[in-house]
A = this chain, B = another copy of it.
Amino acid sequence: MTGRTHDERLHDRKFVRTFFTSPTAVEGEDESAKMIRSASGLRGMQAPDVWVPDNEDATAPSMRDEGAENIVEVLAENGAEFPGEVHPRVVWHRDSPATRYQGFQHMLEIADPENGAVEHLDGFVIPEVGGIDDWKKADEFFTIVEEAHGLDEGSLAMSVIIESGAAELAMGELREEMGKPTNNLERLFMLVDGEVDYTKDMRAITPTGNLPPWPELRHNTSRGASAAGLIAVDGPYDDIRDVEGYRERMTDNQAKGMLGIWSLTPGQVVEANRSPLPPEDGSWLLDDGTQQVELDEQGDTQVYGGDRLSLAESGDSYVLAVGGDEQELDEDGLREELLDRAEYVPSMDDIVDSMEEFEAAREAGTGAIAMERSATLAIDGVEVDISNDRMWDEATYQAAMTPVSLFQDVYENRPDQHDDLAEMYGESVVNRAIDVGT
């Protein structure tokens, strides 16, 4: 966690899947550090890429001095073995010098080498930032802390919570500000959306009190991360019971380039560590006119089990009904229609196959090749063979590389997850995925 390289993203981790917060001091317990002591013991898929002992909102204001001490104590004891990075959240507010001063004091204490925690500390998370000048104030405090404790300038990473319109706008200025000799903003690492406070700051209202989806905020955070070599992370998903909803949110985020998400429980950590990794098995989807339905693989056949689509054969022709609308088609017409409705979700194995195939073609001097994908679909017992060609060129290859690069980053930085990955994908796929594209 030292020795930063200077490639595009400056930090050790090029991807962060999980941002897991724990209260630093809980009142009324035998031991107030109970929660973070427990979290420090997480390993494997339950352990986050980034662990955030949360000395802000998750911890009562009266307990925060004790919280800072607890962070020091637990990190000094267990930090060496913790498999993820550690970025405590301290207090900060764009509108309150008192809060900022308190956050500065906590940073000074936690990073003090005499306390024995700093060698296991990767940075701090700063909440409630405003415009870019407010970010610079926080950066300056990092620099002062580093100076005071003889640490290398820029060695502590800074991440921020985007929870105001002003902070959202500031993300558009990072690229320009980060190079200036008057700051050390190159220490920036994660841009993390905080939708509860953002909703308050934007004064938004929904009838049920649920959070608005804020698609533009998430786009702008992802874009800000892209333009400045940072990592975009979405905020907490409050309904812990709703695993399906959490997964849908992550799929939506991933299509925006936001590959990380806040986790509130080890169960959410497991879900979020797995979500951006390609699936173990490929699957076919069929569009029934209202949604994409996953087909059921039975032997060599992909079976549709819903009731919106129906298909009947009569002599040389077919009748396909979609939600009651019938059309009569010949065999080619039917194949064409089903091809339009079908899509394949490739497995990790499939992705590595395609990339290796493209690499071989490229080496042989070919710039674009067709990747074929075939299947036998069955609807109401009628079987239809379909086959789809997709052109792959250099750009397709590069875009397909994203989940593989993420996998490689995980593999390199999280040896504690090697067993889980081997169990998911098999050793052979893992080994090929590590090598491809490098």
Binding site for B on A (CB under 8 A): 27, 57, 60, 131, 164-166, 168-169, 172, 175-176, 196-197, 199-210, 212, 215-217, 219-220, 222-227, 238, 242, 251, 254-257, 259, 276, 279, 285, 306-307, 324-325, 340, 343-346, 365, 367, 391, 393-396, 398-403, 406
Contact = CB atoms under 8 A, between A and B. Distances in A.
A437 B238 CA distance: 24
Given A197-B398, A202-B257, A205-B259, 10 more contacts: A164-B227, A165-B222, A166-B227, A169-B227, A196-B399, A203-B226, A204-B257, A206-B255, A208-B345, A216-B216
A398 B393 CA distance: 44
Contact of A210 (B131, B165, B343, B367): B343
Contact of A200 (B176, B324, B346, B399): B399
A346 B209 contact: yes
18 contacts: A131-B176, A131-B227, A165-B225, A166-B226, A166-B227, A168-B223, A169-B227, A196-B395, A196-B396, A197-B395, A200-B402, A202-B226, A204-B222, A205-B259, A205-B406, A207-B279, A208-B285, A307-B324
A13 to B, nearest CB: 13
A389 to B, nearest CB: 10
A325 B345 contact: no
A209 B355 CA distance: 13
Nearest to A289: B290
A218 to B, nearest CB: 9
Contacts of A175: 131, 166, 169
Given A27-B365, A165-B223, A223-B168, A254 B204 contact: yes
A235 to B, nearest CB: 11
Q: Which of A259, A395, A403 has the most CB of B within 10 A?
A: A395
A276 B205 contact: yes
Contact of A325 (B216, B279, B307, B398): B307
Nearest to A225: B165
Given A196-B396, A343-B210, A202 B223 contact: yes
Q: Give the top 5 A-B pairs by smallest Cβ distance, nearest first.
A: A165-B226, A202-B257, A165-B227, A204-B257, A212-B255
